[in-house]
Structure 1
Amino acid sequence: ALRCFLDCVSGIDPTVVSIWVGVAIDGIPESVLIGLLAVQHRMSVPFIASVFISNFPEAMSCASLCTLQGMKWYKIVMMWSLLMIMTGGIAALTAAIFDHLTNFHKESASFYRVKEVAEGVSAGAMLTCVSAAVIPEAITTGGDIAGFITVVGFLAAVMVKVLELIYTDQSSPS
């Protein structure tokens, strides 16, 4: 897999590689979190939507940079498919491990600590990738509108959470 990735990115701008590696690093704690939520049967549509929304700009900017630099479309698809397989595999492995740990109860404080660490590391990795690679590249190529679009993206993520809270308040018995 690493050889395939290195073949794909040879001669490509380091910004593209740093975005892809950042998304890969960000994908590890996200995958662990997805696996933990699956074990607890607490996977929600707003959570899946927020993961998609948070990763979409990084993927689109990296893919468009790859296209501008002449990378073949199938190599771009292969790069992102590799990440998809990696994150799905880690999520499945996490769910399998934590589902079979009898001394690690799903409602215990230890389980919630692991989940909170995964959430924190995931959020930190995403912000690091966005602030170190995506935003500078967006400002360079997109100009001043990039800042506005960044704010709109964060507002979209907040709105998903607000809608989740409104929906859960309305659907819970009073």
Structure 2
Amino acid sequence: MWNAILWGTIAASATLLGALVVLKFTIPKKIIGSIMALGTGALIGATTYELLEESLEISSIKEVAIGFLGGALIFTILDYYISHKGGQKRKHSDRVDENNASLFNSSGGSSKGSATSGMGIFIGSVMDTLPESAMIGMSLIGGQAVSMALVVSIFISNIPEGLSSTAGLLKSGFTKKKIIFMWVLVVFFSALSSLAGATLLDNASDSIKAIVSCFAGGAIIAMIASTMMPEAFKEGGPIVGFITSIGVFISLWLHYL
């Protein structure tokens, strides 16, 4: 139980780290795009090697298809809704390298629309991190050692999440203290998600474990394709293709260590 909470917290803490960095320093867009690309590749590899491959070992392609495609579909529906509430900006880094003063409106506050956008960013960020943390918990089922490929991949991908989303929250008029508190909540929810993944499925059948694991994997792949990959290319340019490949290789290397 404590292992699940510990590793879920460590992986999610990268979002808080990213937030603290952008509140203190100016971060070039290309660096954010490169980190996002590295995290994209790492998550693709971790999902493939840690979830889909291992699920196929304990179940059939039918269970894998139900879970994986179901997770992708549900995430897409939720993402569509959250995006219309401002959550599409949670991965945008277009203002990370601006002066902090330009992130606020002229009155120093936020409009109702900006507040709605900021809350959408926060909810979208939580929605992104929960399936990732659940994956970590699932890797601990049966007393197994934590999957370092998952932890490292999720940690890397969460850094640009914290960087970009914090810029959006600042733009929406949120104070620094409120932003930090919100990211602490994200870390807390992620720890709970990891705990749930490790405990709720402990006595489930192999088919159920495979479906739920692949459900999380499908949600993550949908998240990567709709938010991380477009933003990484936008900010980093063609080089992100190679950096993404490095991320996939790192995940493969950690999986077979």
Return the TM-score normalized by structure 2.
Answer: 0.47
Matches within 5 A, 1:12-161: 12=114, 14-40=116-142, 41=144, 43-67=146-170, 70-99=173-202, 101=203, 104-105=204-205, 108-130=206-228, 135=231, 146-148=235-237, 152=240, 155-161=242-248
- Give 1:162 deviation, angstroms: 1.3
Distance 1:36 1:48 in 2: 12
Q: Percent identity?
A: 23
- Measure the CA separation in 2 of the matches of 1:97 and 1:75: 32
Aligned-residue offset at 1:76: 0.9
C-alpha deviation, 1:29, in angstroms: 1.8
Tell me the distance in 2 between the aligned counterparts of 1:111 and 1:14.
37
Answer whether contact 1:23 1:126 (CA < 8 A) is retained: no
Asked if the contact 2:121–2:168 (Cα under 8 Å) also holds between the matched residues in 1, the reply is no
Question: 1:36·1:115 contact (CA, 8 Å) conserved in 2?
Answer: yes
1:19, 1:119 → 2: CA distance? Answer: 22
User: Whole-Å Cα distance in 1 between the matches of residues 217 and 186 of structure 2?
Assistant: 19
Alpha-carbon distance change, 118 to 128 in structure 1, aligned in 2, over 3 angstroms: same
Contact 1:22 1:126 (C-alpha < 8 Å) held by counterparts: no
**Aligned match of 1:5:** none
8 A contact 1:35–1:92 mirrored in 2: yes
Look up the equivalent residue of 2:252 and give its one-letter code. Answer: L
| Contact 1:24-1:83 at 8 Å conserved across structures | yes
* 1:83 aligned partner, one-letter code: V
| Alignment-derived partner of residue 163 in structure 1 | 250
The TM-score, its normalising length taken from structure 1, stands at: 0.65
1:19-76 Cα offsets, whole Å, 9 max, x none, are 3222211222222212111215253223212112222212201212334555322111
CA RMSD of aligned residues (A): 3.2
Secondary structure of residue in 1 paired with 2:146: coil
Gaps of 5+ in 1: 1-8, 139-143
Quick one: distance in 2 between partners of 1:109 and 1:84?
29
Q: Is the CA contact (8 Å cut-off) linking 2:117 and 2:172 kept in structure 1?
A: no
Deviation (angstroms), 1:87:
1.1
Answer whether contact 1:32 1:91 (CA < 8 A) is retained.
Answer: yes
Question: How far apart are residue 97 of structure 1 and its match?
Answer: 1.4
2:194 is paired with a residue of what secondary structure?
Answer: helix
Query: Per-residue displacement from partner, 1:105-129 (whole Å, max 9, x unpaired)?
Result: 4xx2432232112111122134334
Relative CO higher for 1 or 2, CA cutoff 8 Å, sep ≥ 6?
2
SS in 2 for 1:98: coil
Task: Please give the per-residue CA displacement for 1:81-122, whole angstroms capped at 9, x wherever unaligned.
Answer: 1111011112112212122x2xx24xx243223211211112
Aligned residue pairs, count: 146
